[in-house]
Structure 1
Amino acid sequence: MRQLAAILFADMAGYTALMQENEQLARQKRNRLKSVLESTVHLHQGQILQYYGDGSLSIFASAINAVQCAVSIQQQLREAPTVDLRIGIHTGDVTVEDGSIYGDGVNLASRVESLAVPGSVFISEKVYDEIRNQENITSHELGYFELKNVKQPVRIFAITSGGLVIPSRDEIRGKTKQPSNRLAVLPFVNMSADAENEYFSDGITEELLNALTKVDGLQVTSRTSAYAFKGKNDDIRDIAVKLNVDKVLEGSVRKAGSRVRITAQLINAADGYHLWSETYDRQLTDIFEVQDEISGIIANKLRENLSRAQRESQGSKAPTQNIAAYTAYLQGLHFFNKTTPADLRKSIERFEEALQLEPGYAQAYAMIATAYSQLGASGQLTPHKAFALVHEYAAKALQLDSSIAEIYIAEAGAYLFYEWKWKETYESLQKAIHLNPSAAAAYPLLGYYHVLMGEKAQAVAILEDAVKIDPLSPAINHALGNMYVFAERYDDAIRQANKLLDLNTHIRQNLELKAWATGMKGDWEEACRLFEEVYRLTNHPLKGLMGLGYAYAKLGQTEKAMECIRKMEQRQREEPDVVLDADFVGVWFALGNLEKVFYYIEQCVAKRAVPVNLFLQYPVFRGLAGDPRLEALKLKQ
């Protein structure tokens, strides 16, 4: 029988050695362990499936019960005769047959237990997501660890309730492979007298990061996760734990007139030791030489872990020698990274300015293509206009430099959201990821591709892996939440939304994610409350209405739903470049007016709006499945 279970492995430490020294005491302790296990597991509604030597395997329907049981077991075993026990817990799909248990979750739970120390309870991130809001259960993050026969690094937490043993990360480092050549580039601090020069320090950071991603054999945490620590004073060792890196590059930039001072230091995360530091006082025109020198030194400092070919692969050619163009480009990046439609338009203006000063600036062409792709995908610009511009600028970038990952991501957006060319979508994304595995924007698109192919479990798996690569990326974490919704894993989607809300990023879109998952789970009253907050946060009378209208309709509040439609119609008149047809589909569907639904679906097809066949994969539209009008629209390429 296949089921979702919390799997608890418990193993007595030092049993074999104790048997050799004092067999009677060893047997006494093993019998005491068995007695405590059997009474406590039963008390917490668990089931012991297997005993093996000095260990056991139990399962629980609830992760909370499993953790509470583990804490109780450890507390009891502190009393004489004490028993040194390691406990590890993970949740996952398992198959139970004739008292035996199978599944990847069993293997991972076993690995988590093997990492634990006597007197401790270690849990995986999935278990943490289940218990994180329980007032009587507290935990401490130990970070990511490479575990035997587990493909991706695993994020581990130690339970701190009940006076349990809490080891330092260094105490358990010897039990696992250590991250090798994993580097985080933290945002360089702007030390200039003018605070507006922050765009310059951010830009230097990003350029260094891009140069380092080209060093074969070096794994670089993407910008989005590293920038979560901007303006904070977190301990380097704590940052390394959260990002699963063993080296950190940090520094500062001071720009005054035509001169720039860059200070950089490479830090070993385990002990905070400075492996290298340097200060560069240069003319602004020498900035590219400084960037090359820093990236080259870092690759050289890590040379013992790189092959000769990898060491020689570092370095990248300067994008331009025109400092004015470079400055405009950095200003464009500054606005682009704010991600709002208004800022994306400002970024395009700055990138265009860079191109006027330097017509051969490949990166500027690539970033304009990327900005238009985002505007088109979000309905902030008519798809016909947006994606034509994507291909125009991407083609110019490709002629100048075919090694820029963003070119292929922008084109993948056009293929996926406008042209509906699935093969080309997949190939472009694979090319982008090959060029830069840290290119965060590629992974959500790849997830949506798999949703369209009917491979929702694969979409979830890709984004779960992407989160491990880029753990603090709002875009990747939000996309994972969406994949959970597509896969009808609503509790997982709600937990993902709560995680993002804890990070305090993009609050409105994450409240919206939580609202949809809550409604689809069956609680449309709570979903409506969340959608009302989403609407309030838009701070605009005509925006943020689709989900709210849907919820009103589901609750039978027809007039309120119609008022949402009237406001959406007003916005469409006032902003003709904004595409709202998919929003109309949603509210009219909830109202039960299929004539209106199919009218707006036809509008989506005619305008090549964000693939109607993608948003119709949302479980709320299940009622349209099998309708012959969908087949007639030829929604699949």
Structure 2
Amino acid sequence: MDSSHAYRYTAAMSEKTQRRLAAIVSADVVGYSRLMGVDETGTLAAMRAHRAELWNPKIEQYGGRVVGTAGDSLLIEYASAVAAVESSVAVQRGMVERNADLPDERRMLLRIGVNIGEVVIDGDDIFGDCVNVAARLQAIADIGGMSISGNIHEQVGGKLDVVFSDDGEYQVKNIDRPVHVWRWSPTAQVTADGTAASDQPPPLPDKPSIAVLPFDNMSGDPEQEFFADGMAEDIITGLSRFGSLLVIARNSSFSFKGQSIDVTAVAEALGVRYVLEGSVRKGGERIRVTGQLIDAETGNHIWAERYDRNLEDIFAVQDEVTEAIIAATVPEIDQTERERARRKPPDKLDAWDLYQRGLASFFQPENVTLIEAIEFFDRATEIDPGFALAWARAAWARTHNLLNVKTDDRERLLREAREKARMAMRLDPNDPICVLAQGDMMMHTGEHDLGIAKLQEAVALNPNSAEIHYVLAKALDIAGRQEATIEAVERAIQLSPRDAAISRLYATRAMANFHLGRYEAAVAGARQAMHGSNPTPWSSVCYAMALFRLGEEDQAKEAMKDVYANLPQFSLSFARETLSHFAQGTSNNVLETLRRMGVTE
């Protein structure tokens, strides 16, 4: 390229692509998809009205330029930090007024993030880290509020009648240095020291907390009010059986009955992280119950479902739907809590976070993750020696690991499991998970009758826990009661059909069918377990044994290759040791089959 061409090329590029300092506002409508799903036409009309009557006028008033819109989001460029913040505050305060008389399901709420820095201008578009950080700030902003970077805060400090609360440093994806974040809410009050009081909600409890709001009666039939209230009350009772949850009492949550409410405000008032709300609608001999679970910290709807039933027996319907909602809600909360703990920096983990990380490792089948689970649970008990659930899980993780370790480790793990299970029971003898840990430990020491009795006690304490039914199923299989094993597995699957440990349920049922001589069912069930999430090596063992019993010796030999690949120490002596606490008839059936298959000592 000659110099004249190079000059013309550079000049053209400089006209098109520029860099400049700018304050960037990223705004997003919270729950836009939900609003569109409820009323697409009304939502689009409301969006147009808000833009024409509030957003665009405020943007123009403070000299902003709309760079991009994507349905429910806005990206705006301002010449100064002060203009960007003033405009954003005006918009959010205006939205408070516009939403004041609207029902909760029609309110349009914004999150806003503001940052300042160098941006790349390419035509009408802008790019750069500054834009990316603004988007991240928007994602962590309070609903109806605003998050700003430390750079913005430095430039607007003392220039505006707006009070921000210090939210500390956040690590932002793809940005090397942490970003200092400040928050603002339109409802903030200034305290004596000049900080924002209501920006900081009441401290949340360490464990997840939930409020079940009164279900709305959408039928226009006053008699259905009793059904709706009874549904919410039964859910409160059922959720209260889970020791891992703090459930707000009925009298507190029902104080919002009949009110047009903002879920986030309710959560803040009650000091909870999660809110469960729903409705009941009767039409003829049919009834529809809806439920939705909301993470009030983020505004995300993490679960929603509807249940359509015939009203042949209204009390049976109430029991069935209540059970289904509880069974769906708890795993969603558990998963959200694990994700929350996973995102925390290692040096910021408290006992609850360590407990959640332990659970995440526990529900993986590999030996290494079970060792990680033990370490996390033990660290949780070191930080909080009164944390009964952590002691219980520490015991249970050890008995679980007995399937995968050598003789000397087995004796140590069993001794430690006994000590930790006893500590859990000493701290909280009425918690079903503590009772479960005690019963599970007894099964591994050969005390089958006592262990099953303990696990049945745990079921009585919390009949809605799929996890407890699963452990009972395993215990019944150990004791040689395979028909009862299958019943307990079916109950667990009914309670939690999308359970993270569903493969273990399939494997337990498959092994029970194997012992009952139902080899076709065992093959089908083991295959189902192997192809699910988090399969255990014993699924492949069951699969191979059932194939062998059906005369498919070549296929059985191929299946054993998977066993050795995932459990290299597998042998006849390993199986004998692993099954040493099983009923003699059950263990002999497995050992004889493996011997005939050619598995060596």
TM-score, length basis structure 1: 0.40
TM-score, length basis structure 2: 0.42
The structure with the largest alpha-carbon Rg is 2
